[in-house]
Structure 1
Amino acid sequence: MEQILGYSPGEFDSRGAGWTAREIAQQPALWREVAKTASTLAEDHAAFLRPLLDRRDLRIVLAGAGTSAYAGEVVAPALRRRLGHRVEPVASTDLVADPHGCFGDDVPTLLVSLSRSGDSPEAIAATRLADQVLTECHHLVVTCNPDGQLAREHADAPSSLVLLMPAAANDQGFAMTSSFTSMALAIQLVLTGGTADETVHQLATAAERALPGIADRARSLVTAGYERFVYLGSGPLRSLARESALKLLELTAGQVQTHAESSLGFRHGPKAVLNDRTLAVVYVSSDPYTRRYDLDLVDELRRAAAPAEVVALSAVDGSSLWHLPGLDGLDDATSALCYALFPQTIALHASLHLGHTPDNPFPAQEVNRVVRGVTIHPLD
């Protein structure tokens, strides 16, 4: 019988984890679909984006809430280098709370709004506030839901382009998995030209080969009984660390303590979270310079009495590292999408181990799949 992440599909379904498991496992196939769509529509996208990207005074803001914000953070450094523009990730929650502070420079702006559902109150409000505060604002809406309010509001707007993800990327499980990596990949492809089929094929192939080992290791680590999980990384991988910690916190309904930090920042106080029931995961950069700092921290953690175990994921082979082969030559923003399968699978197995239902870890709706209860106040 076919297995998904180490279990039969029927077992996942019976334990309230079917959607989440399938949505983690399907990601390599979805990346190929995202790349195909980006390539097919490259001319249409370029007609909207090229005149904007040719302007040296353009500011690009990547906005989203929660996981969507982290997707923007992961890709922002790579886009900054490739485009030569100001590319700034700013959470839509910050934009709504402080629009004048976030849009302090009234310069031509491309607001890239990432939202799985397109119905997040902050995502919708951020685009409206940008139009209100800025003299000139253009919108690239990246969403998984063609029926969401964000997609509907911008579908026919002359200063907007709506980029829809494949239907399967609209996660039905509580936590964002497919949507996170699909949107992060899509904005890289579209903003840099939309023709990277070889790169995406390399990424997807590496992830498909890594998934069985990821599933085995995740399940083994979860059953070891760690009480705390710490995720660490530098640059784009620090943002992946933040998303990793959030995923585990969400799917275990807050029952597992998680923390995320940069490799260098961890020593400045956050290291206090370590004890002998802690698992530390370090995402090791492929950049030769940055990599030195990550490896220094890995060595330091392994010499210390705590944490109990250190897992160091790397696209580059090395002693005492967990090497994920096939990612050679890819930058950290791209490799991060493959790495993301590991914390997603950790969160899935941890949720099951603790008796939760990953597809809906909050049956009493203390926390909702699409945020509710936000009052958007008018800006005077």
Structure 2
Amino acid sequence: MTHLLNREPQAWRDISGLDTAEEIAHQPAMWRALRDHLCGEQPAIAAFLGDRLNNPAQRVILTGAGSSAYVGAIVADELDRAWPAQVRAVPTTSLLTHPDLYIRHEVPTLLVSFARSGNSPESLAAVELVRRTVRNARFLNITCNADGALARQDADGTDGRVLNLLMPAASCDRGFAMTSSFTCMLLAALAVLGKERYAERLPQLAALAEQALRDWAAPVAALATRPVQRVVYLGSGPLEALARESALKILELTGGRVLALADTALGFRHGPKSALNGDALVILFRGSAALARRYEDDLLAELRRDGVAGACVTVGRDGDFAAPAPAWADAWLAPLWLLMAQQYALHQSAVLGLTPDNPFADGTVNRIVQGVTIYRHDQF
């Protein structure tokens, strides 16, 4: 019998977790499909962007809510370093409440929206806000749902200020938690807005991911059988946002029964370390920067020496969960390391007897956010 993330597919189906398991496992295939799609769309992408990223006055805002916001946070600094343009990650949930801090009428602005469904009220309201407020604003919608309201804004392709960049259809996750949608949108942002040769990188990353999924399946499942009440994810630089996304996956897939927090290696000592106890697990994403790794090494040695946490594990090139990754920027490797965290959250959900594809059967938390009232900023 073929195994899927260390279980038979029927076993996942029996606990209503098959969608999520399949969506974690099929990410390498999604990344290859993404590569082919982006290559085909390259002329339209180049025409839309023009030479704007070389303009120091150009402002690029990467936005989304929840996991989609973390996509922007992971890639923002890498893209900002690559171009004269000003690249900044601002969640829709901040853009809507404090627009005057982030947008100016006269500043050329490209709003890059990340959205799995494209139906989130905040995503749609953020686009409308920038459209009303910024003169000649442009909109790049990176979304997984061709039928979503975001993608339908310029369905006929006649508005030259809008480009809808659709991810592979199967990346529009059926499960509650964003998994393949997250990594596809992240890689699309790096490919489209970055300077790296993505046509070569994406297949390489997919091959590494396939090997990691095979090598990590049993160890991750075994780690999830260890009783845990709290999980702490740590990461520095772009991996800080990866830690936040990983912590969110635990919260979502365990229905909040396992508490999770995220921080940096240096920031963790400044109060958050007090959350540790014998039922806590610390998971550190190892970065590529030599300076950051020295700080990470010091913290790991401290945690293992004082023994407050129940266990500490590392994920990275030379971590407990390792892969022979090339010397790429951390933002490019984040999807690879995330495979460990996604699997761990899935197995934790199963261990707790939950239904991973929908951990909130009572509807207290929804796949697409509900109950949000949008207010026009110019009325206050």
When the two structures are superposed, what TM-score results if normalisation uses the length of structure 1? 0.96
User: How far apart are residue 134 of structure 1 and its match?
Assistant: 1.6
Q: Map 1:70-149 to 2 at 5 A.
A: 70-104=70-104, 106-149=106-149
Match of 2:173 among 158, 166, 171: 171
Matched AA of 2:269: R
Residue 40 of structure 1 aligns to a residue whose secondary structure is helix
Match of 2:323 among 322, 325, 348: 325
Cα distance between partner residues in 1 of 2:44 and 2:224: 46
1:20-71 deviation line (CA, Å, top 9, x unaligned)? 0000000011111111111221111001112322322111110000000001
CA 1:266–1:208: 2 relative to 1, 3 Å? same
Match of 1:38 in 2: 38
Check whether the contact 1:202–1:326 (CA below 8 A) recurs between aligned residues. no
Match of 1:24 in 2: 24
Match of 1:282 in 2: 284
Residue 161 of structure 1 aligns to a residue whose secondary structure is strand
Name which of structure 1's ranges 305-314 and 234-243 shifts more when overlaid on structure 2: 305-314
Match of 1:227 in 2: 229
Cα distance between partner residues in 2 of 1:297 and 1:136: 48
Matched AA of 1:60: V
Check whether the contact 1:4–1:22 (CA below 8 A) recurs between aligned residues. yes
User: How far apart are residue 205 of structure 1 and its match?
Assistant: 1.0
Cα distance between partner residues in 2 of 1:350 and 1:118: 29
Cα distance between partner residues in 2 of 1:325 and 1:96: 40
CA 1:116–1:92: 2 relative to 1, 3 Å? same
Matched AA of 2:107: V
Cα distance between partner residues in 1 of 2:125 and 2:81: 29
When the two structures are superposed, what TM-score results if normalisation uses the length of structure 2? 0.96
Match of 1:308 in 2: 310
Computed over aligned residues only, the root mean square deviation of the Cα atoms, in angstroms, reads 1.4
How many residues are aligned here?
376
Matched AA of 1:232: L
Check whether the contact 2:232–2:262 (CA below 8 A) recurs between aligned residues. yes
Check whether the contact 1:42–1:194 (CA below 8 A) recurs between aligned residues. no
Match of 1:63 in 2: 63
Residue 60 of structure 2 aligns to a residue whose secondary structure is strand
Residue 242 in 1 paired to residue 244 in 2? yes
User: How far apart are residue 83 of structure 1 and its match?
Assistant: 2.1
Cα distance between partner residues in 2 of 1:201 and 1:299: 36
Check whether the contact 1:100–1:133 (CA below 8 A) recurs between aligned residues. no
Cα distance between partner residues in 2 of 1:57 and 1:203: 34
Cα distance between partner residues in 1 of 2:296 and 2:134: 40
Name which of structure 1's ranges 265-274 and 74-83 shifts more when overlaid on structure 2: 74-83
Check whether the contact 2:61–2:111 (CA below 8 A) recurs between aligned residues. yes
1:308-358 deviation line (CA, Å, top 9, x unaligned)? 11111122x3xxx32523312121101110001111111100111111100
Matched AA of 2:355: T
State, as a whole percentage, how many aligned pairs show the same letter.
45
Question: Structure 1 residue runs of 4+, over 4 Å off?
Answer: none
Cα distance between partner residues in 2 of 1:219 and 1:254: 19
| Structure 2 spans left out of the alignment, 5+ residues | none
